[in-house]
Amino acid sequence: MKALLIVDVQNDFCPGGSLEVPEGDRIVPVINRLIEKFDHIIQTQDWHPEGHLSFASSHQGKSPYDTAEMDYGTQVLWPDHCVQGSSGADFHPDLNTTKTQVIIRKGFRKSIDSYSTFFENDQKTSTGLTGYLRERGITELYTVGLATDFCVKWSALDGMEQGFNMHIVEDAVQGIDLNGSLEQAWKELGDAGVGVVSAAEL
Four-CA torsion 123, 129, 134, 138, nearest 10 degrees: -110
SS3 14: coil
**Closest of 159, 151, 160 to residue 185, by C-alpha:** 151
* 44 close to 104: Cβ distance less than 8 angstroms: yes
| Residue 3 binds which of ligand VGL, Zn ion, none (CB < 5-8 A, kind-dependent) | none
62 vs 136, beta carbon nearer ligand VGL: 62
Select the residue interacting with ligand VGL from 14, 31, 42, 78 (CB under 6 A): 78
Give the C-alpha distances (Å, rounded to integers) separating 63 from 48, 67, 77, 107, 111. Answer: 18, 9, 7, 20, 18
Contact between 25 and ligand VGL per CB under 6 A: no
CA–CA separation, 43 and 41 (whole Å): 7
97 vs 136, beta carbon nearer ligand VGL: 97
Binding mask 92-121 for ligand VGL (x = CB under 6 A): -----------------------x------
Select the residue interacting with Zn ion from 12, 20, 25, 46 (CB under 5 A): 46
Q: What angle do CA 106, 129, 25 make, to 5 degrees?
A: 55
Contact between 166 and ligand VGL per CB under 6 A: no
Quick count: other Cβ atoms within 10 Å of Cβ 155? 29
46 vs 149, beta carbon nearer Zn ion: 46
C-beta of 40: minimal distance to ligand VGL in Å?
21
Contact between 182 and ligand VGL per CB under 6 A: no
**Which DSSP letter does residue 152 get?**
I
Contact between 150 and ligand VGL per CB under 6 A: yes
- Annotated active-site residue in 12, 151, 153, 158: 151
Contact between 55 and ligand VGL per CB under 6 A: no
* 9 close to 92: Cβ distance less than 8 angstroms: yes
- Annotated active-site residue in 25, 80, 106, 149: 106
Q: Which positions are annotated as active-site residues? A: 8, 106, 151
Residues that bind Zn ion (CB under 5 A): 46, 107
Residues that bind ligand VGL (CB under 6 A): 8, 13, 46, 78, 115, 146-147, 150-151
